[in-house]
């Protein structure tokens, strides 16, 4: 599959936290972008943000990604697809609220690409480490060889009673698996390959439209709570800067050898207290218990070597990400 260094890229869910950075990175590197949004209203802010790119940026409406053929028109004439649209929240009662758009949206965009994407050369799926990890009984380092069948099983067995984390994780596992299965079934008929990017919690400045701090996407809200809500700096995970996962979406097109790969995009494990400790001394936010994160035993870690080897990705440090995010909040008057 040739590397894609120019042309038009379709970005689904273009108004999301990660997607707007993906769009920006693509435009900065000379690509044209067609973004999909659910309603014309959601495209207005995007058009303003990228007005300087003129007709290199266009927005199209895809009101319901679960409808058959929803992306049939959107895929026409594009050289590559970045599929980011998928719900990310921990509030679903019925697991189908997450599973349906995640799986049907993914299979739907691939089916549209198969039928109408005659110029498509690569499809990048924004998956997640949620599709990689399982809750281990002792500390474990996960790689791209791992799949989260545990969450899928929990949702199959417990349905609505499954944990909120399992419902989201199952949606990402099933969606990513569906993408690989689709490609393996249809590879003789299509001229494109698939790449899955698997980030953990994504933090960083916000350039998508958000009305208030309480209307942020899930990962940004988590970081905001840590800095502003007493007692929230409890917990740990892995993280990556939004600009790094966005760049990975561009490098994933440019590096021929990324084709057919799952790639973990992670800057490392952290405790929520580490975020507070990484803030500039001038920060007026909560301080928590400085240093308390240092002894955290991380049950779950990810090996992100492939992202450096295949994509050549260089990660932001936590100090950079935190400083830039706090500055962004200040500019927004939050
Ligand atoms: P956002 O909530 O900011 O963006 C999600 C995007 O998906 C929006 O465009 C949203 O549209 C669209 N979307 C959500 N639900 C549906 C639905 N039912 N039908 C159609 N479109 C929908 O989230 P992020 O930017 O954080 O997430 C983007 C992708 O990255 C997701 O696939 C998520 O799973 C993945 N991811 C995110 C991580 C993170 O920490 N942020 C970590 C790992 C993976 P609308 O605005 O109209 O709701």
Q: What is the 3-state secondary structure (H, E, C) of 34-101?
A: EEEECCHHHHHHHHHHCHHHHHHEEEEECCCCCCCCCCCCCCCCCCEEEECCCCCCCCCCCCHHHHHH
pLDDT above 70 (res 150): yes
Give 128-137 pLDDT, tens digit per residue: 999 999 999 9
pLDDT bin (cut points 50, 70, 90) of residue 1 is low
Q: In angstroms, how far is CA 241 from the centroid of its own chain?
A: 11
CB 321 within 8 A of CB 202: no
Q: Is 43 in the pocket of ligand 1 (CB under 6 A)?
A: no
**106 alpha carbon – ligand 1 mean position (Å):** 13
Q: Is 38 in the pocket of ligand 1 (CB under 6 A)?
A: yes
The candidate with the shortest Cα–Cα distance to 265, out of 277, 276, 278, 252, is 252
User: What gap in Å lies between CA 266 and CA 162, rounded to an integer?
Assistant: 27
DSSP state of 160: G
Q: Is 88 in the pocket of ligand 1 (CB under 6 A)?
A: yes
pLDDT above 80 (res 2): no
Give strand pairing partners of 311. none
Give 283-327 pLDDT, tens digit per residue: 999 999 999 999 999 999 999 999 999 999 999 999 999 999 999
Which atom number of ligand 1 is nearest to the Cα of residue 62?
20
Q: Is 102 in the pocket of ligand 1 (CB under 6 A)?
A: no
**126 alpha carbon – ligand 1 mean position (Å):** 9
User: What gap in Å lies between CA 78 and CA 33, rounded to an integer?
Assistant: 9
Which atom number of ligand 1 is nearest to the Cα of residue 127?
44
- The three-state secondary structure class of 142 is strand
What DSSP string runs through 196-216? EEE--EEES---S--SSGGGS
Determine what percent of the chain is predicted with pLDDT higher than 70.
99
Give 199-219 pLDDT, tens digit per residue: 999 999 999 999 999 999 999
Give the global pTM.
0.98
**295 alpha carbon – ligand 1 mean position (Å):** 33
pLDDT above 90 (res 38): yes
**15 alpha carbon – ligand 1 mean position (Å):** 9
Which atom number of ligand 1 is nearest to the Cα of residue 89?
2
CB 219 within 8 A of CB 203: yes
């Amino acid at each position: 599959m040739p590397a894609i260094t120019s042309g038009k890229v379709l970005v689904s869910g273009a108004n999301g936290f990660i997607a707007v950075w993906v769009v920006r990175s693509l435009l900065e590197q000379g690509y044209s972008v067609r973004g999909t949004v659910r309603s014309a209203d959601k495209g207005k802010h995007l058009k303003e943000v990228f007005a300087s790119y003129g007709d290199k940026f266009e927005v199209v409406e895809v009101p319901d990604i679960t409808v058959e053929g929803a992306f049939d028109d959107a895929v026409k004439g594009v050289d590559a697809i970045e599929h980011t649209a998928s719900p990310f929240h921990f509030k679903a009662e019925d697991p189908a609220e997450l599973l349906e758009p995640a799986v049907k949206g993914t299979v739907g965009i691939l089916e549209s690409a198969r039928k109408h994407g005659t110029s498509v050369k690569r499809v990048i799926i924004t998956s997640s480490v949620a599709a990689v990890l399982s809750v281990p009984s002792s500390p474990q380092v996960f790689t791209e060889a791992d799949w989260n069948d545990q969450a899928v099983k929990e949702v199959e067995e417990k349905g609505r009673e499954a944990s909120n984390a399992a419902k989201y994780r199952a949606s990402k596992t099933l969606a990513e698996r569906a993408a690989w299965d689709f490609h393996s079934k249809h590879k003789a008929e299509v001229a494109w390959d698939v790449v899955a990017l698997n980030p953990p919690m994504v933090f960083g400045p916000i350039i998508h439209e958000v009305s208030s701090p309480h209307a942020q996407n899930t990962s940004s809200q988590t970081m905001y709570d840590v800095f502003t809500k007493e007692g929230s700096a409890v917990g740990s995970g892995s993280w990556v800067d939004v600009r790094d996962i966005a760049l990975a979406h561009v490098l994933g097109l440019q590096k021929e050898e990324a084709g057919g790969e799952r790639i973990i995009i992670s800057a490392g494990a952290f405790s929520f207290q580490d975020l507070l400790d990484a803030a500039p001394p001038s920060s007026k936010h909560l301080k928590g218990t400085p240093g308390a994160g240092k002894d955290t035993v991380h049950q779950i870690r990810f090996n992100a070597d492939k992202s450096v080897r295949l994509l050549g990705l260089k990660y932001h440090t936590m100090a950079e990400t935190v400083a830039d995010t706090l500055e962004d909040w200040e500019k927004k008057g939050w």
